[in-house]
Amino acid sequence: MPKSVLKRSERVPFVVTFRNTNIHKLSSGSESSDEASARARENTAQNLLLNGGRMLGNRSEMWTSLKIELKTESGELVPVTLGWQVPGVAGRVYPLAVPLRAGSSYSLRVNADDYWANGNRPLLPGKYAIRFIYRGEQFVDRAALPPCWEGEVSSNLLNFEVLPD
């Protein structure tokens, strides 16, 4: 069971899972074979390509398409920065493309050292809610890669409480 109460000095890792639930089942019934094959062409499962951001030559991933929204109980936004342990960029930068076949999933671990909340100061005691937001867009060099899924999707809210140390 996930931990929902933290001490003020604790930093917590997260796992963000992307699921492609775009699977269409064919209906069975009294259709002719021509109708069934036409329906099969219309209802095929769809694979997706996600634009995660950038991958450096040393295989470090920078998920620039992923944001964290952290709010206090009163709805005030707490600043959060995803840094991905990348102090600087030198050398080649590649697109971070994540293929998701229909029905598959991809899990991304966000370690405690990958983000800074509240200006890297401990959160004040109180109740909070956190969610992740993915914003999909096309790669800058569209000729190099196939089209990516475009849009915005957010995770469920995770409510937690920070206690004084």
> Please, which pLDDT band fits residue 76 given cuts at 50, 70 and 90?
very high
> Please, which pLDDT band fits residue 160 given cuts at 50, 70 and 90?
confident
pLDDT at 40: 43
Q: What is the mean pLDDT of residues 142-160?
A: 85
Q: What is the mean pLDDT of residues 118-137?
A: 87
Of 24-38, 47-61, 64-78, highest mean pLDDT: 64-78
Round to whole Å and give the CA distance between 145 and 155: 27
Provide the strand spans (E) within the chain. 5-7, 14-19, 48-56, 61-62, 66-72, 77-78, 80-82, 93-100, 105-110, 115-117, 126-136, 151-154, 158-163
Instruction: Check pLDDT > 60 for residue 37.
Output: no
Q: Which residue(s) pair with 105 in the sheet? A: 19
> Please, which pLDDT band fits residue 131 given cuts at 50, 70 and 90?
very high
CATH of domain 5-163: 2.60.40
Is the pTM of the predicted complex or chain greater than 0.95? no
Condensed to tens digits (0 to 9), the pLDDT of residues 135-150 reads: 999 887 767 778 888 9
